[in-house]
Structure formats: structure tokens, C-alpha cells
Structure 1
Amino acid sequence: MPEPLAALVDLLARRHTLAVFWCLRGGSSSFRALAAKVGAAESQLSQRTRELREAGLVEVDEAGEYRLTSHGRRLLGVVEPLAGWAENWATLSPRQRVPRGAASHAADEAG
């Protein structure tokens, strides 16, 4: 996996990070409103918002609210279709997820 992609996936996979990012897609939000929406402890939310700010995906506006930066909005354009795909995928049964004629194990899997 390319290093920048791995770094982004690592960032977004941290607890509450993707939830914070997703909450901000609708516009700016105060710290307390984010904490309530995400259900995160303030210390953990503070850490995650700092990481998102350091990554250039989130900024604090003049009113002190968090919002997506232009880079964050561009990333949102990639994440929203992925979210749509995931919604569809989640409705599939395990049997529907395996293509017809697929072996039960890949050649390199123990089985």
C-alpha cells in the first residue's frame, strides 16, 4: 500500500476520527456539540481534532467552531461514494458477498 494512503487510513481508523470527520460534513460544529454527537470523552476528542487539524483536514473558524478545510472537503468527495458503497455492501448476506464459482479459500489462505 502506498505510504500516503496508509497514513490516511491509519488516521481515519483511529477511534472517533472518522465520526468527527463525518459529523463535520454538514458544516461547522462546536467542540461540545461534536463530543455529544460522537460520544467521545473530551480528552480523546481533543486529541482527534488536533490530529485532524495537523493533517490539514479540519480547522477552527473565527467563531471557534470546527469545520472541514478545502482538503477535508476534497477528501469528503472521496469518502461519500465509499460510504454509499459500504451501505450497499452491508445489506448483502455473506453468501451474496462471495462471487459464484469462487473457491471457499484463496490459494494463499490456510483452509
Structure 2
Amino acid sequence: MNNSQGLYRPEFEKDNCGFGLIAQMDDQPSHWLVDTAIAALARLTHRGAVAADGKTGDGCGLLLKKPDSFLRLCANQQDIELGTLYAVGMVFLNRDDKLAASARDAL
């Protein structure tokens, strides 16, 4: 049975070991929010802070606020017109050129 829908492909599904999300719903800057997000990330030492080799991580980090002006500029450069509401997906491509090309084709 194929449960593919839109960009979702069940064969690419895998577990993650940790995820944290906190948000300031009134859109006001908050030191508490940043401090709390950093504390949460620091508790995932086997992910973003320090990997199994004790030296590297996998790129975990914080996205503090959607950089709307920058994203609109990038979209415009690709002849994409963004509406008032839009979403952004982050994609990390394989370092192998052929595998990265295959992933781009899937998107």
C-alpha cells in the first residue's frame, strides 16, 4: 500500500532522538525564550552540541525568528511569489553529488 501524499514519502520516515519547540506567541523579543531554547539544546549533547566523536555535531541550532525580508528576496530571485502566509522547510542534502541530485529531484 502506497501512503504517499504530496511531498510525504513513508519510505523516508525515520525516528529522531529529540526535538524541542518553544515560541513567543506575541512576537515580542524575549531573553527568557532564548535562554530556555539554549538550555534545551544543551541537553541534547549527543545531537547538536557534541556528537559521538566528542568534537562535532549535526547542525542542531536555534531559529529565532523567520527572516521574512531575506526569504522574500530569495523567493523573488527564483521567480516565486510568496503570499502573506507561507512556510519554510529546511533540507540538508547529502554531500555525495549524485545522492543530493536525487534528493533535489524528489523535492
TM-score (norm 1): 0.24
Larger proportion of strand: 1
TM-score (norm 2): 0.25
